[in-house]
Structure 1
Amino acid sequence: MSVAETLDHRIPADRAMSLLTPSAYADGTIHETYRWLRKHEPLGVAEVEGVDPFWVVTRHADILEISRQNDLFHNGDRAPIITSQAADRKVREMMGGSPHLLRTLIHMDAPDHMKYRVLTQAWFLPQNLRSLEDRIRAIAKTAVAKMAATGGRCDFVRDVALHYPLHVIMTILGVPEEDEPRMLKLTQEIFGAADPELGRNANANLADLPEEEAQLDFSVITDFFNYFRALSERKRAGPSDDLASLIANAQVDGAPLSDLEAMSYYIIVATAGHDTTSSSTATALWALAENPGELAKVKADPSLIPSLVDESIRWATPVKTFMRTATADVEFAGRDIKKGDWLMLCYASGNRDEAVFDEPDRFRVDRRPNKHLAFGYGAHLCLGQHLAKMEMRILWEELIPHLSKLQLAGEPAMSEAVFVNGPKRLPVAFEMA
């Protein structure tokens, strides 16, 4: 029996559709869908026209267990990001039958995954990151000074949250500072392709575009490739102490990385390396503005900053979903999963699971323990998790002691995206002590 024939666990059409509707992630209604699913159909089948049927995994325990079993649930057999049948066909036509437009770590399984992961893993270990703390703190001080210079009103996303982690990762990667605006724009275009303001087709009617282009503008990938191909050539000719030089000159099994593999590695570092951190940072300040009592707790006890960081990441969960593909028939959580079935891991649902988190819909800076799944779990645990947490910790250490007042000064807005989303506007009024 295939996933499409599992009628007894079919999710209602409106709930299934919301999982694939970008605006549901922007206005927060996705959380109502998640609550309903956790209660009524925590592992059900979504059937939406134009998309292959897929299992929807919403409970913390089930997401954790699937993430542990990397041999049974693969990343690379099908697209690891939810995609339409039209987009899948387009990618396979372009890539000679492969379902992957890129070949990053998230597209790989064993044994390749670890071979490529270890190339850069040492850069992101805590002992190496400690040597970068002074540089990151200097960048944070500059960001706080820029915020203070606005005179008490700013768009925290535009003025601080976007640029602080961007500058950190580009410094580590080896991208010149003058190219950072270009990297930011391309990142917003790739993750915000369906957003009416952020996507490259922002001025077009998305309904008038081919379905695959509304989901992902392939020209953005081309622009990334062209930029990083030139950077890679420079780093091979004159390597320096940065990640781009390492990638440009890396070898796996005694052979240089292919062009696709090298460009994909650059792209995942250059996008995920800052976008998710900026989303978590902005989400944190948004929550603190709406919960002055929580801000007062951190100001009174700065030792709460690490737990503030974890709660911010749980609350934001910028990466909403990843897909896995079953490699064999298996009974899982009372369901008959068949070989080849597609499963959506809903991290933002797992991070609000009532069975794991007390008062999951409250933002609590002193939440302990905080077993959130925002960085994934198992072999694919986020490579940059320690860097992200360090960046946020340092920024709050530099900002919060000086923040005497904070409130919203307009209507915030989230990006419209199913895969990765976060605040795109956050107008605040504040006073610095």
Structure 2
Amino acid sequence: MSNAPIIPVELIAPAFNPATFGIRGAPHALFTRLRKDYPLAIAEVPGYDPHWIVTKYDDIREITRQDHIFHSADRSKTLASKIAEQLMRQYSGGLPTIFKTLVHMDDPEHAEHRAVTQPHFYPQAIAKVEPMVRDMARSYITAFLAKGAQNDNTGDFATELAFPYPAEVVLTLIGVPKQDHRKMLDLTHWLFCYADPDLCRPGANITDPAEIIKTWDIVYNEFKAYYESMIAERQQCPVDDLTSAIANGKIGGCPMTERNMISYLVIASTAGHDTTSATTATGMWVLAENPDLLQRLKADPALIPGFVEETIRWTSPVQQFIRSATEDYTLRGQQIKKGDLLYLSYISGNRDEDVFKDPFTFDPARSPNRHVGFGYGPHICLGQHLARLEMKVLWEELIPRLASVSMAGEGRMTESEFVTGPKSVPIRYTLETTH
């Protein structure tokens, strides 16, 4: 890294601070500057190992399509301080991460584990669950509007609908009974929003790095305690759900390890809905601030799939992932060395001026819209087709019922440098009289 450009610490340090992502617009101002002045450069933030900060769309795609060169499993997959990495190794018995999910794997391990559930997420399999998803969407819309009718047609779209609806969809597919969905939602927030004072684990000291890793360890063990008996049941009597597929999945002809099995269920139970929740809540925030957009979608419902794609690009709920180089590599004229860490900013790639025309204009008719909101390459999001269906169905059911919508207060963003989106979207609405 000796001759590489170094980003001034005062410029890049906010990208390492979860609070920055709780300020609407702040991350975009930062990464717009980086794309212009430091498109591929090194961050040397105190307390962290040096990281290449990858801000450009083409560079993100070049890295993520070459998993054999840029590994996911050798170091922490998310941004972690030196202390956090050391603590993770202590808690995990020397491993670089507490969890061993699909995102923490490289091939052949990644491909083998992904194949265990992949058939459940093929488009033809997702099409079969559409009636169930549509029923759930209608149910949540009806409940949201009924509650709103008692509060002058107001409600918090994030907490009352965008959070619980995608959670119910994926947790039902996993086989988790409805009475336990709230527990899963809380554990998801503890895991991803460990630095947010409103969503973190109760009693956690969010300023202490040891507390963060302790929370992850607690979350892992909570999931383990919950899923152990379910796994045993499904191994004895499999049913048509994701837990059965994972509990009976074979890796190289052998059962999956316990850690990998629990981790698989953790990522399905958390990332399987949290990113969709963030994107859905963002979609409503955009609609509430752009009355013309709601009318445009009402007049032309065929725009709804494009609206969904644009909300994914606009939100980019997974802000970053970390990769490590397994060999020397030249990227954008810079010499990346074996062992170097790379911080891939998806939020930056999806606003890259060289790829997206007017990237700060929300356009449901944007075409093409080849965003990297679901990642790219072999690690592209396994649940992308389910996420698209959930959002498309929700908007198809809700938009015709709304005559107007506006913000009824200040929206609030989650404080997280990893997965983020709105944690509160208070809206006021009027309904069409024909519904």
Check whether TM > 0.5.
yes
CA distance in 1: counterparts of 2:404 and 2:86, whole angstroms: 52
Cα deviation, residue 30, structure 1: 1.1
Spell out, residue by residue over 1:123-142, the C-alpha distance to the aligned partner (whole angstroms, 9 max, x if none).
Answer: 01100111111111100110
CA distance in 1: counterparts of 2:71 and 2:237, whole angstroms: 38
The one-letter amino acid paired with 1:138 is D
CA distance in 2: counterparts of 1:235 and 1:315, whole angstroms: 39
CA distance in 2: counterparts of 1:109 and 1:220, whole angstroms: 24
Aligned positions of 1:252-267 closer than 5 A: 252-267=251-266
Matched, 1:102 2:74: no
Given the alignment, which residue of 78, 82, 87 partners 2:79?
82
Q: Is the 8 A contact 1:192 1:199 kept in 2?
A: yes
Instruction: State how many pairs are aligned.
Output: 426
Cα deviation, residue 216, structure 1: 6.1
Spell out, residue by residue over 1:43-90, the C-alpha distance to the aligned partner (whole angstroms, 9 max, x if none).
Answer: 010111111110000001111111111111111111111111111111
Q: Which residue of 1 aligns with 2:219?
A: 220
Cα deviation, residue 148, structure 1: 1.5
Provide structure 1 residue ranges, at least 5 long, that are not aligned to the other structure.
none
Q: Which residue of 2 aligns with 1:277?
A: 276
Aligned positions of 1:76-225 closer than 5 A: 76-149=73-146, 150-151=148-149, 152-201=153-202, 203=203, 205-207=205-207, 209=208, 211-214=209-212, 217=215, 218-225=217-224
CA distance in 1: counterparts of 2:261 and 2:57, whole angstroms: 34
3-state secondary structure, aligned to 1:9: coil
Provide structure 2 residue ranges, at least 5 long, that are not aligned to the other structure.
none
Q: Is the 8 A contact 1:190 1:216 kept in 2?
A: no
CA distance in 2: counterparts of 1:389 and 1:206, whole angstroms: 33
3-state secondary structure, aligned to 1:128: helix
3-state secondary structure, aligned to 1:196: coil
Q: 1:205 to 1:267 in 2, by over 3 A?
A: closer
141-150 vs 336-345, which moves further: 141-150
Cα deviation, residue 234, structure 1: 2.3
Aligned positions of 1:360-399 closer than 5 A: 360-399=359-398
Q: Is the 8 A contact 1:320 1:346 kept in 2?
A: yes
The one-letter amino acid paired with 2:394 is L
3-state secondary structure, aligned to 2:129: helix
95-104 vs 372-381, which moves further: 95-104
Spell out, residue by residue over 1:138-167, the C-alpha distance to the aligned partner (whole angstroms, 9 max, x if none).
Answer: 001101111221211110011110111111
CA distance in 2: counterparts of 1:141 and 1:116, whole angstroms: 34
Q: 1:424 to 1:215 in 2, by over 3 A?
A: farther
Q: Which residue of 2 aligns with 1:11?
A: 7
192-201 vs 224-233, which moves further: 224-233
Q: Which residue of 2 aligns with 1:22?
A: 18
CA distance in 2: counterparts of 1:214 and 1:78, whole angstroms: 17
Aligned positions of 1:353-432 closer than 5 A: 353-432=352-431
CA distance in 1: counterparts of 2:353 and 2:199, whole angstroms: 33
Spell out, residue by residue over 1:219-270, the C-alpha distance to the aligned partner (whole angstroms, 9 max, x if none).
Answer: 1222112111222122223321100111111111111111101000000000
TM-score by length of 2: 0.96
Q: Is the 8 A contact 1:194 1:216 kept in 2?
A: no
The one-letter amino acid paired with 2:167 is L
The one-letter amino acid paired with 1:286 is W
Cα deviation, residue 429, structure 1: 0.4
CA distance in 1: counterparts of 2:266 and 2:283, whole angstroms: 26
Cα deviation, residue 113, structure 1: 0.8
Q: 1:29 to 1:157 in 2, by over 3 A?
A: same
CA distance in 2: counterparts of 1:225 and 1:363, whole angstroms: 41
Q: Is the 8 A contact 2:408 2:426 kept in 1?
A: yes
10-19 vs 191-200, which moves further: 10-19
Given the alignment, which residue of 61, 68, 73 partners 1:71?
68
Aligned positions of 1:30-49 closer than 5 A: 30-49=27-46
CA distance in 2: counterparts of 1:430 and 1:221, whole angstroms: 40
CA distance in 1: counterparts of 2:70 and 2:403, whole angstroms: 49
CA distance in 1: counterparts of 2:234 and 2:379, whole angstroms: 28
CA distance in 2: counterparts of 1:374 and 1:206, whole angstroms: 28
CA distance in 2: counterparts of 1:355 and 1:64, whole angstroms: 14
Cα deviation, residue 22, structure 1: 0.8
Q: 1:212 to 1:44 in 2, by over 3 A?
A: farther
CA distance in 2: counterparts of 1:214 and 1:197, whole angstroms: 15
Q: Is the 8 A contact 1:58 1:345 kept in 2?
A: yes
The one-letter amino acid paired with 2:307 is L
CA distance in 1: counterparts of 2:71 and 2:388, whole angstroms: 27
CA distance in 2: counterparts of 1:161 and 1:22, whole angstroms: 22
3-state secondary structure, aligned to 1:396: helix
Q: Is the 8 A contact 2:194 2:206 kept in 1?
A: no
The one-letter amino acid paired with 2:172 is T
CA distance in 2: counterparts of 1:39 and 1:385, whole angstroms: 31
Cα deviation, residue 96, structure 1: 2.8
3-state secondary structure, aligned to 1:66: helix
Q: Which residue of 1 aligns with 2:249?
A: 250
CA distance in 2: counterparts of 1:169 and 1:379, whole angstroms: 22
Q: Is the 8 A contact 1:84 1:212 kept in 2?
A: no
Cα deviation, residue 93, structure 1: 1.9
CA distance in 2: counterparts of 1:67 and 1:196, whole angstroms: 33
